Each structure stands twice: as structure tokens, then as C-alpha cells.
Structure 1
């Protein structure tokens, strides 16, 4: 986050003094709120002389800052003009980094001193170690917004875990994400933030389902540790009945309601902890459950989705080549390509996106000296980049 801020602040020639009082963008309000939460948590543990617990909150905060706020805000900094939203983003990020530096200074004194020297504004002490430890500004806390982002991040983390588990690359667009939640408040939050979830998980649409049964089928087995002692020789027969239990009864158990079965004239009441319930994804879906929330990805790829995935891989490859050649982030380039016909079709369909994302002025199909191999979907291609002078 610090490197990102310095890079783009220098490009835009931005100088900042303080965080905006009431930023319009919810991402700014959220990260400012999380900053005060972090300061409060770290300060409390330091007051308790628990150094190990004090480290956790600011390490977690760095993850939120880098992998959520910066990722979600990048395009705000990339805009060519210095509009109010962009300036508020700079002021917010500067304020957050400065307070993080003050909070982390007892733990990493030398790094924070170097960062402080570059971030400090008029009126601040000469050294970070001459500053008071920050106190949390409770007026900055927005508990409702923190809850919203926590809920959204939970859904996104589950979706990314599914991608990883089933080898579905993050850069490959998918047709849909399906969501089921038993919590009306959670559903309202997810629905409000569906565009953000859609972009984060790289899916074309987010679909809300009423029942988990639309996504998965349930299987049930006896919990032998619980039932074995009470059923004894009847355990085998009981297991057969339990495994044939209807989906309605399985759902009742999942909701915490006991279910009775009849065995040799004997009524046996099954509690939720007396069975083991297994979820099996329905065909063409990859699903996961955590508490009240179930998410499922549709992994079926159309030709259009495959081509878009190829372009996203190509963009990543070109960006890596730019870094390897030490191009500045503002340098314009030209691109030469050599690859299969499928890649040509993909470039033709998404050329404007490719040019915009890589700051390329043109793409030419030719074999040229200095081209390097880049993976585009399942097929390699050769890519060359040259800075426009």
C-alpha cells in the first residue's frame, strides 16, 4: 500500500494534509473505520502488556488494506484527471498509512521511521518515535459498514476457496455465482453489494436462491459414536434406515429439530448430533457452506468466456513483461503477438480492453525478435512489448 501510494502520488504530484471529514466513497469510510478499530485493538493489548496479541490486529489490518482497499480502489488512482473522488482516495490512503506507521512503530522501528519521514506533514515531530501513540477516534467508526464489508468478504473468500479447490483460475470469468443464506439481514447486505461480489469473483452474474436444495443434495449417515451404545445390535438396521432418510427429514435435522424413526416396533428419536450430514453438489455446480451461507460457482465455460479468460491471461503476461523491462507505470507501449487462431479471435473481441489495461497503443500480429512465451488460457503465445518514445 505504501509503495502504491508513493508511486501514484509522485506521478500526479499530489500533496495531502489530512483525511477527508466525510468521504463520499464507502471504501474510504470503511478503511478509515477499520483503521480506528485497529488502533483501539492494538492499544488495548499493549496496555495489557500482551505483545503477541497486539501484533495480530495490525497484521490483519495490512491484509485488509492491501488485498481489499487497494485492490478495490486501484482504478480511482489510475484516472487521468484529479477529480474529487481521486483526491479523497489519496487523502484517505495517506491518513491510513500514517496512522498505521505510528501504530506499528514499536514493533518495526526502522521501517516505520523511513516511511514516516516520507509521509509526515507540517507540524509533526521530527521522528516517528517522538510522536505519541495514536488514540482511536471513535467518531470515525462505522459499525454497520464494517459488518457489511465483513459479510461481503466472507462470501468472496468462500468463492475464491472454491476456485482454488477446483482449479478454476481467478482470471477465468465464470457464468454465475449462486448464493443462499438463511439470514435475511445477510441476504440484504449481499444483495446490496452484489456488483462488488461479481467483480471480485470474476463472474457474469450473482444469483440468489431461496433454498440450499437448489444447489446441493444431502446425504446422511449415522454417528456411530453417539448411537452405537444405545442401539447395540440394532445399529446396522438403524444405519440402513438413516441412510434412506428423506430430504425433508434431513433438512429438519439441519434446522435442529429431532426426527423419529421406527425400528422393530421401537421408536428412536434422532437428534442433530446423532447423524453426520454430507452435502453433495448438484451436477455442474461447485458449492461450499459455512454457517448460514452457501455459495456455488457454475464452472461451465462458453467459447466467449474462454476467450475472455485468454485475454485476461494475456493482460497479466504483458504487465509482467512491463515490470521486467522496468517500464514506468505511465509508459505507453506497442505489442506484437504470435499465437493460435483462437487467440486472434479473442483479441479481436476484446481489443479495446487489452489496449486500455496495458496502456498499449497498438497490437500487431507478427514474429518479432525478443518475444517471450506467455500462457493464454491453455495455449502459449509469443508476446513482445516496446516502449513508445
Structure 2
């Protein structure tokens, strides 16, 4: 209720409250934030993440980490400035916009960095970035949402109360160029997704290339655009968005492999497997589907935590018959 009052209406206007309005606040802010927190806690426990280990220098981290920490620094400055002026409304809205970026861009784009089995420097940097971000958000939102911020911060800080902790100091990492590049990248992704939608080609289906308006993006940012749009090549300087819609057999097989990954992930959920459970995937298919699975077996195994992929209804594999792109496929799983 408190968060709704801070974020729903301009100062001086009347409030219109009700169950629907409050549910909307929960769905738009609290659930996405809690999902980010739960995602971090789940994988941090699996990997035994220790926040006290030496920090990876920010300048050496992935561009997504540098972007998020720069955004976080701006958020701390904006919330502090607003509260110093006795303005609670705009700081709360800034936090809400930031959580939207955290959930729908940073965490979504960084999932594979947490999923990968090897613990390397990049994975540690991702953990450190998300840990610092969640800890800082907990303290920033404590005056606005005291109970949720307390629940999050106590778990992140080994039992300390957020209300007995210092308000975040100004952060030193500001990178306006990374923020500007990432803003352009998100605009490019939005335009590219609209182009895909216009020709009715699903994002899971890889395409050869896309030409985009504007100046070239830094390569590490352009790579994010390619991954998000699922294209092999990006070029810039076009008058308008130009999508290469020719689907070769190689691209078709890769697209089918991505669809198989989706079916396996759905099967994992149905069977109640935990995120860390490694599995053996069994399948029966013919034609293009069989070729797609065999050609992209390593990709499928990495994406689904499959220790092996077996052709046939193997012993102990519980599965179901499914229809994919007009072809029959049987998929079954068992714990590895």
C-alpha cells in the first residue's frame, strides 16, 4: 500500500485505490524484484558464493555489469537527492524503473553466466555485481517498503537489519558512454523484434543478418543485440531496419534445436526437477528433428543440464509424445 501511494499518482492528485491497483503494484514491482533476489540466492547457494572474496575490478567486468553498476550509481544519487528535498515520490519511481531494467534486461541477459558449471572470473563478477545491486536496492527502498527490504537484506547480510545499516553512500562507478550504448542497443533490439514480428518469424529461429540504422555500437554491446535478436551478423548505417529472412537448412536445424531445448525445459518443470539436477535426455524423432538434435547436441546439453542425450526410449526415462513443427517427437528425462 505504501509503495502504491508513492508511485501511482502525481503529488497533489487524488488516489484511486482498490484490489486491482494493489495487485498491479505487486506484479509490476515486488514480484520482479523478488524473482531477481530468488534467482541470485538459488545460484549463490549452489555455487557457495562468498561476498567477502576480492572484488573483480569493475573496469574488467562484462559490459552488462559495468552498465548496471553505472545505473546503480545514478540511482543512489537520484534517490539521495530526492529524499534530501523531502520528495519520496520521484525516488520511489526511480527505484521502480531501475528494478524493471534489472529484471528485464540485466538478469535475463546474464542468466547463462550464472548457469554455466565452471566457476570463472566472469561468473564471480556477475555474482558480485548482482549481490552489490540487491544489497544497495534493499537499503534504498527501506524507507518505502520496510518489510520486503528487511527480508532481503537480512539474508544477504548474514542477519543484519537493513534498518540498522547505513544508507548507501554515493558510488564512484559512472560510465555514461556504456549507458548510452546500452540504451541504443535496447532501441535496436526493439526495432529488430518489431521487424521479426512483422514477418512472423519467431525469435528462436536464427537468421543470418540484420541491418540497423545509426552508428556502429561497440562490439561487446553489438554482441548483445545479436544474441537478443538471434542473428549471426549486425550491420549499421542502414536507412531502415532490414532483416534477412532467408532460412537456410543450417539455420533451420539450429532453430529446431532451440525448440527442442524449450520442450526439455518444459519437461523438467513438469517432472519437478530442481534447477541444479543434471539429467539424461532420451528422444525419438526422425528427419530434420533427429538431425537437429544430433548436430546441436552440445548446445542442447549445455542449455538443459543434460549429461547425455540418448536416442530411443531409454530405461527410466519418463516422457511424452509431442508435435514440433509438424513432426512427431518423444522426449523423456531421467536423473543423471
Per the normalisation by structure 2, the TM-score is: 0.79
Paired residue for 2:285? 339
> Quick one: distance in 1 between partners of 2:113 and 2:204?
21
1:386 has 2:334 as partner: yes
> Quick one: distance in 2 between partners of 1:84 and 1:154?
30
Larger gyration radius, structure 1 or structure 2:
1
Paired residue for 1:365? 311
Q: Indicate which of 165, 169, 183 corresponds to 2:202.
A: 169
Paired residue for 2:138? 101
Paired residue for 2:270? 324
1:154 has 2:187 as partner: yes
Paired residue for 1:284? none
User: 1:5 deviation in Å?
Assistant: 1.4
Alpha-carbon contact 1:151-1:190 (below 8 Å) kept: no
> Quick one: distance in 1 between partners of 2:94 and 2:321?
42
Aligned residues: 297
Paired residue for 1:34? 71
Q: Indicate which of 275, 300, 303 corresponds to 2:249.
A: 303
> Quick one: distance in 1 between partners of 2:46 and 2:291?
36
User: 1:84 deviation in Å?
Assistant: 2.7
1:116 has 2:136 as partner: no
Deviates more, 1:107-116 or 1:364-373: 364-373
In structure 1, the gaps of 5 or more residues are 182-186, 213-293
- What whole-Å deviation, never above 9, does each CA across 1:290-316 have from its counterpart, x for those lacking one? xxxx32322222222222111101101
Cα distance change on mapping 1:127 and 1:165 into 2, 3 Å: farther
User: 1:116 deviation in Å?
Assistant: 0.7
> Quick one: distance in 2 between partners of 1:46 and 1:68?
27
Cα distance change on mapping 1:167 and 1:112 into 2, 3 Å: farther
Cα distance change on mapping 1:49 and 1:145 into 2, 3 Å: same
Per the normalisation by structure 1, the TM-score is: 0.69
SS at match of 2:72: helix
In structure 2, the gaps of 5 or more residues are 1-35
Question: What are the within-5 Å matches in structure 2 for residues 169-318 of structure 1?
Answer: 169-181=202-214, 187-189=215-217, 193-209=221-237, 211-212=238-239, 294-318=240-264
Paired residue for 2:29? none
Q: Indicate which of 133, 137, 160 corresponds to 1:126.
A: 160
Alpha-carbon contact 1:336-1:366 (below 8 Å) kept: yes
Cα distance change on mapping 1:153 and 1:360 into 2, 3 Å: same
